[in-house]
Homo-oligomer: A and B are copies of this chain.
Amino acid sequence: MPRLNPLPLPAYEQVKAFVKTQITSGRWRPGDAVPSEAALQQQFGVSRMTINRAVKELAVEGLVTRVQGSGTVVAQLHRISSTLALRDIHEEVLERGHTHTVHVELLETVRANVALAHTFKLRLGAKVFHSVLVHSEDGVAIQIEDRYVNPAAAPKYMSADFNTTTPTRYLLEHAPLTEASYSIEACLPSAHEARCLGIKAGDPCLVMTRSTISGAHVASWVRLVYPGTRYSFSGKFQL
C-alpha cells in the first residue's frame, strides 16, 4: 500500500484537522452533512478504521453528531464546554508558584443531626468526623474548608496529619472516588468566616458545596468558602 504519511502527524489526526478546519472556517455549517466514512476513505487513501477513529473522536468532542444508518452531520450548536476538575488546593497553589499553608481550626467527632444524617444516609446520632481548615496562599487566607466525613468511608480520618496532607488528598487516596456533585453560589460570610478569611462582613464570597460518593457510601460533604475579592474560578473552552 502507498504510505502517504511520512509527516510527523498520524493519519487520523490529519483527517480530524481537515474536518475541524472545514467546520471552524464556516465552510461546513451546523446541520451540514459530513462526507461518509467511505468517501473520506477514498479522499485520504487510508483504511476505514482510521477514518472511523478520526470521526468518532470528533463526535466525542462534540463537533459532529453521528447517527447509525443515517450519517454524520456538523453539530447543531457548538456547545462548547470545559471541564471543572476536583482539585487539591495544595497542588493548585504550588502550580501558581506560591506557598501553601494550612491552619487547622477544628477537628472533632460529632453526632449526626437531622441534616447530617440525611446527607450521609446514616441514623440520627451516628458518629461523623468534622474538620475545619483555613488554607492560605503566600500567607493570605483564600479558602475555608468546612468538611464532614463518613467514618465508614475513611475510618482513620481523625488521625491524619493535615499539616502534611490535605483532606482532599487524604480522601482521594483512601476512599476510591466514584461520584461527586457540586454547586457554586455567592454568599455573605458569617461573622466567624469573615474573621478567618480576614475580610469584612459585607464582602461577598464564592461558596462551593460538594458532596462526594465512594462506592456505597456518601464519603464527604464539604463547604468551601473563598473570598470573592481574592479568588475566582476560571477556565477555557476549546474546540
Q: Indicate how many identical chains form the complex.
A: 2
Known: A187-B204, A206-B186, A239-B177. A80 touches B85 (CB 8 A): yes
Query: Chain B interface: which of A105-113, A114-122, A156-164, A228-236?
Result: A228-236
Check A43 for interface membership: any CB of B closer than 8 A. Answer: no
Chain B residue numbers with a CB within 8 Å of A49 are 49
Alpha-carbon separation in the docked complex, A93 to B41 (Å): 42
Alpha-carbon separation in the docked complex, A8 to B67 (Å): 19
Known: A185-B232, A205-B204. A86 touches B237 (CB 8 A): yes
Known: A24-B176, A184-B234, A187-B204. A80 touches B86 (CB 8 A): yes
Q: Could you tell me how many residues of chain A have their Cβ less than 8 Å away from some Cβ of chain B?
A: 52
Q: Is the CB of A181 within 8 A of B228?
A: no
Mark interface residues in A38-78 (1 if CB within 8 Å of B CB, else 0).
00000000000100000000001000000000000000011
Q: Is the CB of B184 within 8 A of A204?
A: no
Which of B172, B179, B236 is in CB contact (< 8 Å) with A239? B179
Mark interface residues in A164-201 (1 if CB within 8 Å of B CB, else 0).
00000100110011111111111110000000000000
Q: Is the CB of B176 within 8 A of A236?
A: no
Chain B residue numbers with a CB within 8 Å of A184 are 184, 206, 232-234
Chain B min CB distance to A150 (Å)? 15
Chain B residue numbers with a CB within 8 Å of A182 are 82, 234-237
Chain B residue numbers with a CB within 8 Å of A5 are none
Known: A25-B215, A83-B83, A180-B236. A185 touches B173 (CB 8 A): no
Alpha-carbon separation in the docked complex, A120 to B239 (Å): 20
Alpha-carbon separation in the docked complex, A188 to B228 (Å): 9
Which of B24, B60, B237 is in CB contact (< 8 Å) with A181? B237
For residue A169, which residue of chain B has the nearest CB? B77
Given contacts A30-B173, A80-B179, A184-B206, 15 further A-B contacts (CB under 8 A): A24-B215, A26-B215, A77-B169, A77-B172, A78-B176, A80-B180, A82-B182, A178-B239, A180-B238, A181-B235, A182-B236, A184-B232, A186-B206, A187-B204, A187-B228
